Structure 1
Amino acid sequence: MSFEHFLDDHTLSFIQEGNQMFICDGCMKPISGPCYGCEECIFYLHYECAKLPESIEHFLHPCPLSLSLYSYTCNACFMKGSGFSYRCNICHFNMHVECVSKPTISSENDEGLIQHFTHWHPLSLIDLNTFDEKPCCAICEKPCSPNSTYGCSSCNFFLHNSCMATIPRRIYHSFHPCPLILLPYPEYECFGCQRERSGLTYSCGKCRFKLDVKCGLLPTVEAKGADVIQSFTHSHPLALLGNKDAESTGLGARHRCRACGEDCLDHGFSCSISCDFFIHTSCIELPLEIHHPLHLLHPLYLMYLPLLLHGTDCSSCNQPLDGFLLAYRCDGCNFNLHKHCAEFRPSFNQPELPSMRSV
């Protein structure tokens, strides 16, 4: 009896009694008992591993997961693994076969257990009186509340009931054109605050783009009237700030806008933590990406110039760029524009030529 397996090019032969020296390429454990193998490839599988389904659906990830042969880090338990995993190639999401096989529940049962897409174990109602120090919610990062916290004590994972009920699984964010899916990751860098994080993240696996939950759910400048927003112009959240508030910060008598360089005399935004960062409400609406007639090859991105480029001239007016201010730049071509030069669009219309008289 032979067996065609989609992960090996050759037919796998049935072996009635496996050799203890054989290691299963699926689970990486010694083989005893019936197995399938290819002596040419030195590829062996337990009977049970050979019969694993090629693809599955799992509540922890919205995309189908395919059986793959990789070295990987499991997005459920955060442990490294080799051999078989169930993987989403688009999102770069992996799960151990053992983690996928953990029993799940479809709704709250008699023991008060629930299954939620933020965590791979069932969650139970937590008695906080047994804790010396209140744990924090994995979504909002605030201390958990008595009688309204679900969690997994073995993983030190806890959620407010309200956060669990309202957290969106998929969001659209102005920082990125693709939809972002809420997934657990062992480690990542948040694009919004540039901090190294672990745990839940809003992720686009295709583009390797990630936002932590706080940055992902914080309003952006498009949300008119918000007092605290996230902006690509600064790595920390920005708070709406009037001039009187700015004068009381003690960061100096003059607060230059990081976009135009003028004083922030009217309402603007300031770093909500401790940075000396101010930007006008009008300047914060500058686009992240522009296309400019002076550089038709590539888009230009709003950014701070690298330290090595401070003092570089603007590619339009040939005047030095201020390293304190944001500028539009094409990294690959070392092409830079002042904000005001980027806003000026030269006309390249051909002057009309006089008609030629016939002789």
Structure 2
Amino acid sequence: MEEKQLEHFSHEEHPLILCELPKENDGGSIDQKSAVCYGCQQQILDPAAYCCFPCDFFLHKRCAELPRQITHPMHSQHPLVLLRNPTYFSGACICSACGQGPWKFFTYHCSSCEFDLDVSCAILDQQEIKLDCHDHPLREQRPGAFYCNACREDVKDSSYLCTVCPFWIHKKCALLSSIVKHKDHDHSLHLAYSLPSDYRSFPQQCFVCWKKVHPSRWVYYCGPCRYFVHITCVVISQEDEGQLSEDIEYPISGERDQNVVKLPSSNAAQELIARFLLKDDEISSNNDPGKSNIPEEIFTNSHGKHPLVLSEKVQNLHDEIKGTTSDDDQEAAKAVLVCDWCIEPICSSDDLRYHACVECGYFVHLTCSNLPPELHIPKHPQHPFYLMYNPREVGLFNCKACRLWTNATYYKCEPCGLSVCIKCASASMITSSVKHDGHKKHLLIQLQSSDLINCTACGYIYRGGFGFACEDCHFYVCFNCALLPPATTQRWDKHPLLLIYPPYFEHPEEFYCVLCETEINPNCWMYHCRECDYSLHPVCVPQVNLFRRVKFGRSLNVNNHSHPLTHVPEAKYKSFCGSCSDRRLDWKPAFECESCRFYLCPDCAFEKELTDDEE
């Protein structure tokens, strides 16, 4: 081999000579001491290298020929200069890419920024690849901590860095398959380098961890089902199928059932009230028709005009009404047969007995009539809550738990002015876990945080901690959504409207609410008629939104009209308030005189209502 000499800045004492290095002998051992490159500190395995044998100094041929100055995408604002060793006082540095240190050998350095790269991270031992998502070649880097442009995580790992711009991704992200089969989904998932524009109308969440999908983050998705999974969550679920991605079913039966509340329920208020009023072994016997210790009459402060009489004929009455009246009359009759305390239909209760004042149309569930006058709610341990009722027929209060305006009976903390309807108060008393069909992976527990929470079901942000949560999945549902009934009806449709939950498999079209005519967020819960293929926001369904919080049909006497007025959910078309006549009441709640077609808006009715003393 022809001898070649090199004057190199890193070894000014003698010239370096390019020569062959000793080879392994027949026994596999090295004849002479293994040579280690001074520049990169790696063993020299090449057949030839630059050497200074008197000084025991060696360089790879590639290290000896490194450029003295480079521009690197990790630090593109200034050029980096190659140094024999770092010039800091300690004589060492920490590599800004891989974190290796203390490093005392060849270093690419920016004196202005004190930015340093060892030669392996800067330029050596790097393979290049080309990805469809990026215009420039990507060069392999040694393991280091950095912010990945694909998964948005700061994890130390092998990586690829763009040779032109500061685009940097983990090696495992760069080598992801374009199509994967995820065990939680029936269809293949396709890799997208950002959230497709067709799905940016609403915020999207990962269906494994329930965290937000960032628009610029890589994601696996199924378009027709609007099913999205972070690329890191797909890896997790494939490596550990027994944890995040497995649907865990909790059978509600036997002794295990007694410590689990199952939702949604068509009779949620009664079940929740019964659960905290009675012991577990008494809940099942609460509706025993053989019980005889129920009083025939009760007197309540909320209805002081007449006693409430025990009745068992509500179902027969409902059947008679159903067979002899029109659809509109049936709807009106159903509105009358509503408990004045919890504002839930009495007909839906398993126990057909109730207390009633038929003359006034005042009804109370047996469970509601047994509510304690004082309650200690765990979410507000500072003060007790006292059972309250509105002494007037007009007027609503805002429940601080479900955030709904209602005329239900409620519990109030006087010092704090905090009012909670009895349905939410009952939900707050749950000490066991909740199994909800909207989140079958895990059981839910009472939400403990008072921070701002985004409800997974409706998308609204609320504060106060009145809800249920699965902390592992970042799944939160407010009391209002958790207590939605599983099904409801509409007067124009004979089919049931079912409460459904995302992802909505095999429904690629957008969802539009047929009442408000706006697009429904496909990440939220909705009511849907499968036969007719139409959908509704829960807040747009009168039987869910209006009749679940306000009892209509109550009678009211006012001081400027001779007939009693009835509280109706919808005033007739082209109707006006008889007091503030410039106020249109079309299809809005109002107080109506059927004989005179006279209306009052709720505000005027409140001002003109006659109290018991005035009557």
TM-score normalised by length of structure 1: 0.40
Higher RCO structure (Cα 8 Å, ≥6 apart): 2
Q: Which has the larger radius of gyration?
A: 2
TM-score normalised by length of structure 2: 0.26
Q: Name the one with the larger helix percent.
A: 2
